[in-house]
């Protein structure tokens, strides 16, 4: 099991690295996964939803990669430059030590410096002794369907595909073959070389300019990141402060700077079941993220990101008839591509099929109406104002819930079985009406309040009658269930559907502790058949829901114990995937997962306030967000932001 106290991660079978061995860099449009062996094994250009140019994480033979690593056996430690998304991989060999520093330019710096966004910078520096490094530049376009042609240029090499190209600028000469470009270079103490990848452009090789861009990128992240001065009250003070800050930095990388949309994860088809078929494309924006994102951002001082998400929610509200609202969109608001399989790729550790696109976009999920309106309402609690145009966009959607709430749907877990009457979906319809009524009361905008209040009451009475099982002494997954539990029931007190001290809420929490909680603070999503073969891991977000529900119930000691157990599954670099294998303790699913990091932040906020998860407007008032000052210290990151790898040269590549 990976833990924050044991940062050595062993290699896995078939040449694939454990997911815990990856860090990420990005430019607020796309994200690259960088392994602790110095290999970029996943990157899509120009956007996170584009096809990949490196995909070795999905096929270790043909996927493509960009590797910088010693030619001899080495130990490697990865860490982020303190309070940034600049990643360093430090290699130690018998002869010396060298560090690879990886980063991408971010707006507005890229525009000011005239540096295209589609650029990856890799600086290699020898700290002491002598280190021989190999550089292997092996892009494969269109999800490794296309092997490019390679040719030498004056300061590097160019790889050309059918309709795209990449250029690797290098401060040392590169050799070119039919399959790749690369070199071997010996660094002496004090030597520095730059390898700069440009997608669709040729980056200039001016090392002084590159160092200036690096300095600006470090300053950008430190200006943005949550900080709290000594002695100031912090909304997430305590032993988990570093994890919360890292989670916020991860979320920022997943937020598109133009649209404010959050992609659920920057990867596709990393399996929930090793060797199985539970492999999905998460590079899109799920509406339901809004309900859990706003407080996580605003409490850490990132108000602009929360307001951008407010505007995005309004855009979804006004797209057309409410019945046409989809649960998921591209980060640019376009329809998600049809789901298809890439049968030429073997999948991570043989987990096929590899999928791109997502069929969930065509599902009927009525919970999204509540999540949209709740996301807007949460933002108003932090200072955003709803005007008449905003209300016009929201009105029809809220009113539509009065018709749609009785419909069966695919639910939050996007079941690929017949539609059901999911309790969570009904509850979120109640939330849509409840928050709509609150906004109408606070603004005096016209609304059919009698109709909405009547429907809100009807939904609640129906859920209490059909959604709670006396047999299970718990809320259940769907109407008609007698004994099938679902972790979404933990949200009942968090959204204010029932108070935390209600006996039905407490018995539900106890049932989930008894039946869905497994070892290490891990919580399964639900019981019963979901129509797919194989078994998935424990869902990390559910663990944080349990923490928040316990904290809001006043059961703080239990909440802290589960939170601490769950934190043990954070990778050495502070990253979380979607799930964890409860037996092996390894991360599963797409990584990093926005939902998991949002859950961690909100769980920490719940513990910090001891009673408030931040989703229930009737339980607590919103607090002013923390100031977001910048400290310019340059000390390295703590052990909680690093990961170590032992590697014998290039034998496992």
Looking at the fold, whether 250 and 135 belong to one and the same domain comes out as no
Looking at the fold, whether 247 and 212 belong to one and the same domain comes out as no
Given this model, what pLDDT does residue 7 score?
A: 32
Looking at the fold, whether 196 and 243 belong to one and the same domain comes out as no
Give 400-424 pLDDT, tens digit per residue: 999 999 999 999 998 877 899 999 9
**More confidently predicted of 528 and 84:** 84
Q: What angle do CA 572, 576, 577 make, to 5 degrees?
A: 125
Q: Which of 74-88, 150-164, 219-233 has the lowest mean pLDDT?
A: 219-233
Looking at the fold, whether 250 and 103 belong to one and the same domain comes out as no
Q: What integer best gives the mean pLDDT of the chain? A: 89
> If you average pLDDT over residues 433-455, what whole number do you get?
96
Instruction: Identify the DSSP state of 266.
Output: S
pLDDT over 70 (residue 493): yes
Given this model, what pLDDT does residue 5 score?
A: 27
Q: How many domains would you assign to the chain?
A: 2
Given this model, what pLDDT does residue 291 score?
A: 63
The pair of structure tokens assigned to 270 is: 């990393």
pLDDT over 90 (residue 539): yes
pLDDT over 90 (residue 9): no
In the structure, what pLDDT confidence band is assigned to residue 431 with cuts at 50, 70 and 90?
very high
Give the residue numbers spanning the domain of 582. Answer: 239-254+467-622
In contact, 276 and 352? CB cutoff 8 Å: no
259 part of a folded domain? no
Given this model, what pLDDT does residue 648 score?
A: 42
Give 295-347 pLDDT, tens digit per residue: 788 888 888 888 888 888 888 888 889 998 999 999 999 999 999 999 999 99
173 part of a folded domain? yes
Nearest residue to 305 via CA among 315, 295, 314 = 295
In contact, 544 and 491? CB cutoff 8 Å: no
> If you average pLDDT over residues 263-272, what whole number do you get?
97
Structural element, H or E, at residue 24: strand 22-26
565 part of a folded domain? yes
645 part of a folded domain? no
332 part of a folded domain? no
Looking at the fold, whether 19 and 111 belong to one and the same domain comes out as yes
Q: What angle do CA 271, 273, 279 make, to 5 degrees?
A: 35
Give 603-650 pLDDT, tens digit per residue: 999 998 863 433 444 444 444 443 333 222 322 333 334 444 444 443
> If you average pLDDT over residues 358-375, what whole number do you get?
92
Given this model, what pLDDT does residue 114 score?
A: 79
Q: Rounded to whole angstroms, how far apart are CA atoms 402 and 521?
A: 38
Calculate the alpha carbon distances from 484 to 68, 193, 261, 459, 523 in Å: 50, 59, 34, 21, 15
In the structure, what pLDDT confidence band is assigned to residue 106 with cuts at 50, 70 and 90?
very high
Q: At what angle do helices 289-298 and 303-317 cross, to 10 degrees?
A: 160
The pair of structure tokens assigned to 139 is: 């892009």
Map 300-330 to HEC letters: CCCHHHHHHHHHHHHHHHCCCCHHHCCCEEC
Calculate the alpha carbon distances from 328 to 24, 102, 360 in Å: 24, 31, 7
Given this model, what pLDDT does residue 22 score?
A: 98
> If you average pLDDT over residues 168-180, what whole number do you get?
94
CATH of the domain at 57: 2.70.98.10
> If you average pLDDT over residues 422-448, what whole number do you get?
96
Looking at the fold, whether 245 and 141 belong to one and the same domain comes out as no
Looking at the fold, whether 132 and 247 belong to one and the same domain comes out as no
Nearest residue to 141 via CA among 33, 271, 43 = 43
Given this model, what pLDDT does residue 462 score?
A: 98
Rg (CA), the chain: 25
472 part of a folded domain? yes
322 part of a folded domain? no
Q: What residues contact 570, with CB distance under 8 A and at least 6 apart? A: 4, 243, 576, 600
Q: What residues contact 199, with CB distance under 8 A and at least 6 apart? A: 45, 46, 53, 116, 118, 119, 164, 166
Q: Rounded to whole angstroms, how far apart are CA atoms 126 and 98?
A: 4
Q: What residues contact 501, with CB distance under 8 A and at least 6 apart? A: 553, 554
In contact, 235 and 626? CB cutoff 8 Å: yes
Looking at the fold, whether 484 and 608 belong to one and the same domain comes out as yes
Given this model, what pLDDT does residue 230 score?
A: 54
DSSP letters, 86-131, are -EEEEEE-SSEEEEEEEE---TTHHHHTT--SSEEEEEEEEEEEEE
Looking at the fold, whether 122 and 245 belong to one and the same domain comes out as no
17-38 burial string, b = 16+ CB within 10 Å, else e?
bbbbbbbbbbbbbbbbbbbbbb
Looking at the fold, whether 171 and 245 belong to one and the same domain comes out as no
Structural element, H or E, at residue 464: helix 449-466
How many helices (H) and strands (E) are present in the chain, helices listed first?
15, 25
Given this model, what pLDDT does residue 652 score?
A: 29
The pair of structure tokens assigned to 473 is: 């002494």
Looking at the fold, whether 110 and 245 belong to one and the same domain comes out as no
Q: Rounded to whole angstroms, how far apart are CA atoms 198 and 53?
A: 12
Given this model, what pLDDT does residue 8 score?
A: 35
134 part of a folded domain? yes
**More confidently predicted of 7 and 50:** 50
Looking at the fold, whether 157 and 216 belong to one and the same domain comes out as yes
Rounded to two decimals, the pTM is: 0.91
Given this model, what pLDDT does residue 13 score?
A: 38
Q: Which of 88-97, 111-120, 502-511 has the lowest mean pLDDT?
A: 111-120
Backbone angles phi, psi at 643, to 5 degrees: -140, 150
How would you class 599 by CB atoms within 10 Å of its CB: exposed for 0-12, middle for 13-18, buried for 19 or more? buried
Given this model, what pLDDT does residue 351 score?
A: 97
Give 51-65 pLDDT, tens digit per residue: 999 999 999 999 999
> If you average pLDDT over residues 160-183, what whole number do you get?
95
Q: Rounded to whole angstroms, how far apart are CA atoms 482 and 65?
A: 51
CATH of the domain at 491: 1.50.10.10
């Amino acid at each position: 099991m990976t833990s924050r106290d044991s940062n050595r991660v062993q290699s896995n079978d078939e040449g694939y690295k454990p997911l815990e061995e990856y860090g990420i860099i990005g430019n607020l449009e796309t994200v690259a996964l960088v392994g602790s062996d110095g290999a970029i094994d996943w990157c899509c250009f120009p956007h996170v939803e584009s096809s990949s140019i490196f995909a070795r994480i999905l096929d270790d033979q043909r996927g493509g990669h960009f590797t910088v690593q010693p030619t001899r056996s080495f130990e490697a430690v990865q860490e982020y430059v303190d309070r940034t998304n600049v990643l360093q991989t430090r290699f130690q060999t018998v002869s010396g030590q060298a560090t690879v520093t990886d980063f991408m330019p971010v707006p507005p710096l890229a525009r000011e410096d005239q540096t295209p966004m589609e650029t990856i910078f890799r600086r290699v520096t020898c700290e002491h002794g002598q280190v021989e490094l190999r550089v292997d530049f092996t892009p494969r376009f269109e999800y490794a369907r296309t092997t490019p042609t390679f040719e030498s240029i004056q300061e590097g090499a160019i790889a050309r595909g059918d309709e795209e190209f990449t250029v690797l600028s290098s401060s040392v000469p590169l050799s070119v073959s039919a399959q790749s470009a690369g070199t071997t270079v010996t660094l002496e103490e004090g030597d520095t070389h730059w390898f700069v990848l440009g997608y669709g452009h040729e980056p200039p090789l001016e090392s002084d300019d590159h160092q200036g861009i690096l300095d600006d990128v470090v300053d950008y992240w430190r200006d943005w990141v949550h900080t709290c001065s000594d002695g100031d009250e912090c909304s997430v003070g305590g032993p988990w402060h570093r994890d919360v800050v890292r989670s916020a930095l991860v979320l920022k990388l997943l937020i598109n700077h133009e649209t404010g949309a959050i992609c659920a994860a920057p990867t596709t088809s990393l399996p929930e079941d090793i060797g199985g078929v539970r492999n999905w494309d998460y590079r899109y924006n799920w509406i339901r993220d809004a309900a859990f994102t706003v407080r996580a951002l605003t409490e850490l001082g990132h108000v602009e990101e929360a307001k951008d998400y407010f505007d995005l929610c309004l855009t979804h509200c006004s797209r057309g008839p409410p019945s046409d609202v989809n649960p998921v969109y591209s980060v640019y608001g376009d329809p998600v591509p049809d789901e298809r399989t890439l049968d030429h790729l073997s999948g991570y550790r043989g987990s096929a099929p590899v999928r791109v696109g997502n069929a969930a976009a065509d599902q009927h999920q009525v919970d999204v109406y509540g999540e949209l309106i709740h996301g807007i309402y949460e933002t108003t609690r932090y200072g955003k104002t709803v005007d008449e145009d905003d209300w016009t966009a929201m009105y029809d959607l809220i009113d539509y819930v009065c018709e749609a709430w009785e419909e069966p749907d695919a639910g939050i877990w996007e079941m690929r079985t017949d539609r059901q009457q999911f309790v969570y979906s009904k509850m979120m319809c109640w939330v849509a009406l409840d928050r709509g009524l609150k906004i109408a009361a606070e603004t005096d905008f016209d609304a059919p309040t009698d109709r909405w209040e009547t429907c809100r009451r009807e939904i609640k009475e129906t859920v209490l009658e059909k959604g709670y099982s006396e047999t299970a002494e718990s809320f259940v997954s769907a109407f008609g269930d007698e004994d099938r539990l679902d972790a979404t029931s933990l949200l009942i007190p968090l959204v204010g559907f029932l108070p935390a001290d209600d006996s039905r809420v407490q018995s539900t929490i106890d049932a989930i502790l008894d039946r869905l909680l497994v070892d290490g603070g891990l919580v399964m999503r639900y019981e019963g058949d979901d129509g797919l073969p194989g078994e998935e891991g424990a869902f990390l977000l559910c663990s944080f829901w349990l923490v928040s529900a316990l904290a809001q119930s006043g059961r703080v000691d239990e909440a802290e114990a589960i939170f601490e157990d769950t934190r043990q599954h954070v990778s050495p670099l502070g990253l979380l995937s979607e799930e964890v294998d409860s037996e092996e303790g390894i991360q599963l699913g797409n990584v990093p997962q926005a939902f998991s990091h949002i859950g961690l932040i909100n769980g920490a906020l719940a513990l910090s306030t001891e009673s408030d998860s931040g989703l229930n407007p009737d339980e607590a008032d919103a607090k002013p967000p923390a100031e977001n000052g910048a400290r310019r210290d340059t000390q390295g990151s703590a052990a909680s932001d690093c990961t170590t790898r032992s590697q014998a040269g290039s034998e496992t590549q």
